[in-house]
Chains A and B, each alone.
Chain A
Amino acid sequence: MSTQTKRRGDRKHTPKTKMIGLYKRAIQDAFHKLDPRIAVRNPVMFLVWVGTIVTALVTLDPNLFGTVTADPNQQRLLNGLITLILFFTVVFANFAEAVAEGRGKAQADSLRATRSDTMARKVLPDGSTQSVPSTALRRGEQVKVIAGEIIPVDGEVVSGIASVDESAITGESAPVLKQPGTDIASSVTGGTRVMSDELLIRITADPGQGFIDRMIALVEGAERSKTPNEIALTVLLTVLTQVFLIVVATLSPLANYVNTPTTIAILISLLVALIPTTIGGLLSAIGIAGMDRVAQFNVIATSGRAVEACGDVNTLVLDKTGTITLGNRLADEFIPVNGHSLDRLATIALASSLFDETPEGRSIVQLAEKLGAKLDFQPETTEGVEFSARTRMSGTNLAHGQQIRKGAVDAIKGFVRSRGGSLTPELDATYERVSKLGGTPLAVCQDSEIYGVIYLKDIVKPGIKERFDQLRCMGVRTIMLTGDNRITASVIAQEAGVDDFIAEATPEDKIDVIRQEQSQGKLVAMTGDGTNDAPALAQANVGLAMNSGTQAAKEAANMVDLDSDPTKLIDLVTIGKQLLITRGALTTFSIANDIAKYFAIIPTIFSAAGIGALNIMGLKSPQSAILSALIYNALIIPALIPLALKGVEFRPLTADQLLRRNILFFGLGGVIAPFIAIKLIDVILPFA
């Protein structure tokens, strides 16, 4: 697996969306959502919606369902006010959802602006080019894109080297080099711009099915379906609603029996007050906001299910390089063995890294040159040998058949042995010494002779240990995967504070670790960017692919990080947990609210039955009590929209601590707050 080597520093994610007109559009959408075909999707609020229609009818004719004894005009006024409050309860709930959706739509608009129907130079079989609209291009066809032009659709670079500006998607202003033949750099995205030179690109996606198109569909919520937790909560809320519907529907005969006949409007008010409208109105907004928070982090989630799964993750499988340690390991020291001089080792190391363009390779060249090393051959006469996961070494073939190699100590030992060379204990001692320092030892040889070891220094990212401590506190286990030897891996693992590590890991080990953890009933999250990571990304419950990665990795994962920063997986776990905590907190609050509303309305309905003592809030009159409870019920929804969108403040606590905190803040608060609020509204209302 490889990682992108650009500097990330402390760059924070910045939303690229335009929020202008967000609220205006949300207000419009809130009214559009009154369409019964849309309203029916939210069972709790649909009941309020039907109740609004019934109270509207009794406002027009107070005697519709039976002759009322009170003054018809006064009754009409009360019914009208109840209708108005119920109507706004539904509108506020719709507004909460519309605001959450609007943020996603704004981001989709921003992405849509990058997708333009440009003209493309299609390459014909005879090699000539033809100008065609980008929508006419099909998978498998080839296009030529020159400097200044926009890449029409997603594809793979066939030939050419060019720098490409991907800021439209990633927000990263530095252009990225694209060239054929490598997993990462050969993948290009439609909508990005070629800054220099030209590329011949083979199209990998039909129009409308490219990466940006899929991202637009996702952030707009077109593919949004309820997550398992949302479904479970919906069932719970529906059961509660059903129970209260049956109770209220059968209450009228009881009220008549105790000589306190009630009107239909009051029964509907009682029903609306008792059913969990607060969480019913905010439930979808919380889910959408969770996805939006992920999007604000420049991560695209394929579904709410993926975001929610982040909150339930038990195990994080993390690559060492780029995630736990800083991406670039740098050569710190040359350690000669077998009696060779430092100068000779530096010369051989320089020769071995002649064609190595990785940061590690360049740092070896720099250190060698700093030590005064010079090549004793013409570079033009040599041939580079690229690193591969199989050989685990790279190097240079000289003109006279000599072979210089650098790589993992085991690999170099094998190479030397195959050429009849002998091994000394000095090499193993040096290897152990570097490993124990947490560095990566690279052995350097020429044919059958080992010259020494290069000490590549690994630097653990600042603050990563504290992050892992927090994760452990939340019950999340961390496993580090590295191609390094066991000693180096153990030192880094200890320094970083991971729970477990797998040394000398191959890409196949990833999927094995994931399967092993899943077989114990755990949910696993991992990051990846290479084609060989795709099976593991698909197997993991949360697979975060890097945007710089291959198309296969991006398609297999259920999340794509546009900044290509693997550390974000830890942030995503936090966001997922925050989503679950917010949903739990607001559900607790909503259900706890019922107690105060019960004490506000029930004594008024059964006042003649001698239960006036239950009016513990001392509310002025039955009308005032009902209106106060309903006004509170309506206003609490918009009041909680910011909390639903922003999420409850996250603290790394254990499940028990979280439960206690939830019950204390949102349970007790949910009982006390409405008592105070309803009493205040009752005092303000002019009803005597």
Chain B
Amino acid sequence: MKVAIPVSSKIDNPTMFNRFGRAKYFCIIETEDETAVFLDNPAVDARGGAGLRAVEFLVENGVQSVIVPQLGPNADRALRAANVSIFQGEQLPVKDLISKLKNEDLRKI
């Protein structure tokens, strides 16, 4: 399963960024083998509707789950309509968040 987490830098094991639609990058982690890639968020400078643009982009890239700090109502509706699972994250390194996800320690929202 492909999981997206918003981050602000492309370093190894970055910490989750505190915003979703305006994050600079998304760290996309394949839970099978824990490989990670970074995608530039095309919505980072969107005039409006950044959350929606970001969701559309993630869906196009085959993301099935997101771990997020908080979500606006538009991004929330968009993720649900696209059948993307939403998990409540906290500001931890992405590897910690993935282990929490695997241990079913993250709340599905």
Do A and B pair up? The answer is no
CB within 8 Å of A: which residues of B?
none
CB within 8 Å of B: which residues of A?
none
